[in-house]
């Protein structure tokens, strides 16, 4: 059975991802992503929250809808981001815009040997918003902390 996730990806979209980063670095990027996503809509947004096991075993567990501010609460500190995401390998907290204009996947965990807290994010945005995202993340894209890696449509 194909994932509902694939059906919800905007038809013409741009995909971004980070490499595995330190938790502190991914936290800073998540906050910046949230501010950029929030700027895409003039009206209050609600988001669909999903515990995303697609990279782990192909499953996804809807957790309901939340106001956009919920994402800022999850990412308010590096610790809250770490505690607010699932702790299985390759299991993400996924948030999707109700209007299907973007999808954000956030992962945190421990490095090999449990030496450091790490994280990563993936972002899919409708193509019409890619210039906004890329303008907001020019430095991170030039440094390699956020990479544009595919385009659909």
Structure tokens of 43? 């009206």
- Give me the pLDDT at residue 153, please: 57
Q: What pTM value is reported for the model?
A: 0.88
Burial of 2 from C-beta contacts in 10 A (0-12 / 13-18 / 19+):
exposed
Instruction: Report the Cα–Cα distance between both ends of the chain, in Å, rounded.
Output: 22
> Could you report the average pLDDT of every consecutive run of 10 residues in the chain (153 residues)?
54 87 96 92 84 78 93 97 89 90 93 91 90 87 81 58
How many angstroms separate the CA atoms of 32 and 151, rounded?
A: 22
- Give me the pLDDT at residue 149, please: 66
- Give me the pLDDT at residue 99, please: 86
Q: Which helix (H) or strand (E) holds 37?
A: helix 23-38
- Give me the pLDDT at residue 2, please: 40
- Give me the pLDDT at residue 142, please: 83
Positive or negative CA dihedral for 130, 131, 137, 140? Answer: positive
């Amino acid at each position: 059975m194909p994932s509902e996730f694939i059906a919800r990806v905007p038809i013409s979209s741009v995909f971004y991802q980070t490499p595995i980063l330190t938790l502190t670095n991914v936290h800073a990027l998540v906050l910046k992503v949230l501010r950029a996503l929030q700027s895409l809509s003039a009206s209050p947004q609600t988001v669909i929250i999903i515990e995303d096991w697609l990279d782990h075993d192909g499953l996804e567990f809807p957790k309901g809808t939340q106001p956009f501010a919920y994402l800022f609460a999850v990412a308010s500190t590096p610790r809250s981001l770490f505690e607010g995401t699932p702790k299985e390998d390759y299991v993400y907290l996924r948030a999707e815009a109700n209007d299907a204009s973007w999808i954000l996947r956030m992962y945190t965990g421990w490095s090999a040997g449990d030496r450091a807290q790490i994280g990563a994010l993936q972002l899919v945005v409708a193509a019409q918003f890619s210039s906004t995202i890329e303008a907001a993340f020019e430095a991170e894209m030039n440094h390699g902390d956020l990479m544009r890696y595919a385009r659909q449509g």
